[in-house]
Amino acid sequence: MPISREYIIKRLILLVVVVFGVLIITFVITRVIPARPELLWAGAHPTPEQLEKARKELHLDEPIYVQLYYYLADFFRGNWGVSWRTRQPVLQDILSALPATLELVIVAFIIAIALGVPLGAIAALKRNTWIDHVIRIVSVLGASVPVFWLALILQLVLSSWLGILPGAKRVDELVVYETGFKPITGFILFDSLIEGNFEVFVNALHHIILPAIVLSFYPFGLSARMTRAVMTEVLSELYTRSALAWGLPRRLVIYKYALKNTLAPVIASLGLSFGYTIIGAFMVELIFVWPGIGLYAAMALLSYDYPAIMGCVIVVAIIYTVINMIVDVVHAIIDPRVKL
Amino acid sequence: MDVKPLVVENLTIHYYTLEGIVKAVRNVSFSVEKGESVCLVGESGSGKSTIGLAIVGALPGNARIVSGRILVNGVDVLRLSQKELEKIRGREVSIIFQDPAASFNPLFTIGQILSDVIKYKLNVKDKNELRKLALSALRMVGLPDPERIYNSYPHELSGGMLQRAAIAVALSTKPSVLVADEPTTMLDVTLQAQILDLLQDLRRKLGLALVFITHNLGVAAAICDKILVIYAGSMVEYGPVDEVLTSPLHPYTKRLLECVPRSSARVGRLKYIPGSLPDLRKLPPGCVFAPRCSEVMEVCKSVEPRIVEVKPGHMVACHKYSR
């Protein structure tokens, strides 16, 4: 493995810096918003005394830097606070919501890569033919159609009008009760498969198709465009010309050699698009009532649930950093010139 | 009678670009015997590399061979189907390029590329056999420690080693014709000599027909039996190397020889030929060299000179020698 210890240490330091920076920025932003979260904490129809008590409990009467101190001190002890909305520890809330989101995003990326990379490669090989133009239109649309619009339209057409696919939730509760399904990791597709519970697996798969397709549009468009651009460049490289001139079959030069040259930059761009996809997941989860971190964050945002918002932002930041670390490692595995 | 490994007849190649049709090569003919080497000499942009690529059938997509024949071991490769051509390419004719570092895909080891070429060209399936052939090809070009080279990525090797490796790849299939497109231009002088020696050596040992493309007359003098001088896509002079270099006929060849800097004669300014190559999209009528020629006559500006044999085997395209 071409990965040095310095690289891992550097990345861990970077992770801490990123988390710290995100913490401070989101903390300041949430506190500066002119909202009155104590109203939520104090419950319905509070008396002025109750409100005052709530402000004290939430440290809202203290200066902002003291509030930050309290927060950081708790945060690094693993206490991410209690959600003001659900009254559950935030970390626990997030950890139970995270698998749903990761499952959705992973399936979306699998769809995006499985379609985007081959279509991009075909477009590069059939450059300036009608096939190329069709793929271009589809991929540009994929990358530019707003995800909330797409989600609503597909939900309306496929679920409401045609009734082909379910338009909400991860799985039918009835099937879960009847089969006595107990999730282990929280990844329903994975859990049901290893438990041999095919009824739940098929049901969950049926549910995930629509939101995953919606979410896959952006990474699909991106990977198709990137693959076409990089592949076109690789095919015009001197090493491609010499491989052909040395008599290697065209098939081999394209699918074994050029494709490998194409993959590294495509994977890197997909890693960067992950952040955007998470934002997409917020909308998709809200629209499809998908019980993941996006739905949780959206609800937290709508009710000024500071600890929950902070927790979500930090988890997303950590995931983003880790994903890009994985992208680096994959790049180093593909390209021997890259030393980490 | 023995069939010549390579015969090029009246080859004309055009590039189709957005700015117009570039007439890159016009009516070029030459042939190479077994074990013989022919140099294509000319300035940058004279079309010499295009001829090399045409011989191995690796012209870029916007190039068309408008007319002419390329006979490899008696077979006209321009009449072959794509499939038949793929069989000959790399098997009977192969090529090495100017920039050895850019010739190798950076993500694959030398061994992977070399053994793929052997596998698909010689139909060797057995893994051990494949490896043995690959290592012996690397040994043939004088690379020390072939095992290490086999497992190396291009960025781990020097330019000289990579050029040797490229020669190993090109010759691993025992082709009868090798096109060497400026193979020493990117190397420094000592390496240059080593690679030239290696090519000479392999040419004799394997009886290769060598097409050597260069702009360097010194290199041409060292390696070639025959020399073909090209100017703006047309052949201007063709003959045995000693004759062409010692008693050049065409004014262009004479000027070109005067331009070679000599370390012994450090007097005066370096010589050059005034003017530049004509626009290959809008060729002037008459001789292409006329606008830069110091011995230009009235007829040169209107009538294109035909190539004539002045002495046995020594041909020139110039009105001075017509009739």
ipTM tops 0.85: yes
Q: Is there a contact between B103 and A242 if contact means CB atoms under 8 Å apart?
A: yes
Q: Pick the residue of B107, B122, B162, B181 with the most A CBs within 10 A to test the interface with A by mutation.
A: B107
Residue A335 contacts B where some CB pair is shorter than 8 Å: yes
Task: Report the percent of chain B where pLDDT is more than 70.
Answer: 97
- CA atoms of A76 and A89, how far apart (whole Å): 14
Q: Domain A97-307 belongs to what architecture? A: Orthogonal Bundle (1.10)
Closest residue in A to B89 (Cα–Cα): A247
Q: Which of B80, B30, B67, B22 is nearest to B52 (CA)?
A: B30
Candidate from A238, A246, A334 with C-beta closest to B90: A246
Considering only residues A198 and B104, tell me which one the structure prediction assigns the higher pLDDT. B104
Q: Which site among B105, B121, B151 would you substitute to test the A interface, given the most A Cβ atoms closer than 10 Å to its Cβ?
A: B105
Quick one: pLDDT at residue B284? Answer: 79
Question: Other C-beta atoms within 10 Å of B275: how many?
Answer: 10
Residue range B6-92+175-271 forms a domain whose CATH class is alpha beta
Sign of CA dihedral B195, B199, B201, B262: negative
What are the chain A neighbours of B173 within 8 Å (beta carbons)? 247
A243 touches chain B (CB under 8 A): yes
How close B105 gets to chain A, by Cα (Å)? 5
% of chain A residues with pLDDT over 70: 98
- Taking residues A28-37, report their average pLDDT: 74
Domain boundaries, chain B: 6-92+175-271, 110-174
Mean pLDDT value of segment A28-38:
74
**Phi and psi angles of residue B174, each rounded to the nearest 5 degrees, phi first:** 55, 60
User: A51 Cβ partners below 8 Å, 6+ apart?
Assistant: A38, A39, A42
Residue B159 and residue B191 in contact, taking contact as beta carbons nearer than 8 Å: yes
* Closest by Cα among B192, B109, B190, B118 to B146: B109
Could you read off the pLDDT of B238-288 as tens digits, one per residue?
999 999 988 899 999 988 888 777 666 556 677 778 777 888 888 878 888
Token digits of residue A322: 């880790």
> Does residue B223 surpass a pLDDT of 60?
yes
Query: Cα distance from A12 to chain B (closest Cα, Å)?
Result: 28
Q: What is the pLDDT of residue B51?
A: 94
Q: Which two tokens stand for residue A259?
A: 């494709």
* Minimal Cβ distance to B105: which of A247, A249, A261: A261
What 3-state class would DSSP assign to A181?
coil
Residue of B nearest to A249 (CA): B86
Q: Please name the amino acid found at residue B108.
A: F
For residue A61, the one-letter residue type is D
**Where in chain A are the domains?**
97-307
Query: Chains A, B: CB contacts under 8 A, how many?
Result: 77
The Cα–Cα gap between B237 and B289 comes to 12
Asked if A336 and B155 come within 8 Å (Cβ–Cβ), the reply is yes
In contact, A320 and A275? CB cutoff 8 Å: yes
- The DSSP element (H or E) to which B259 belongs, if any, is helix B251-259
Averaged pLDDT score across all residues of chain A: 86
Side-chain-side CA neighbours of B78 within 13 Å: the count stands at 20
Using CB atoms, which residue from A240, A246, A335 is nearest to B169? A246
B108 has pLDDT over 90: yes
Compute the distance between CA of residue A279 and CA of residue B52 in angstroms, rounded to an integer: 54
Radius of gyration of chain A, Cα coordinates, nearest whole angstrom: 24
A242 close to B (CB below 8 A): yes
In chain A, at which residue ranges do the beta strands (DSSP E only) sit? Answer: none
Average pLDDT, chain B: 89
Mean pLDDT of B292-314: 87
With CA atoms as reference, the chain B residue closest to A237 would be: B102
CB contact under 8 A, B153 and A336: yes
Which tokens belong to B143? 């690379």
Q: CB of B6 within 8 A of CB of B94?
A: no
Q: What's phi and psi for B94, nearest 5 deg? A: -140, 180
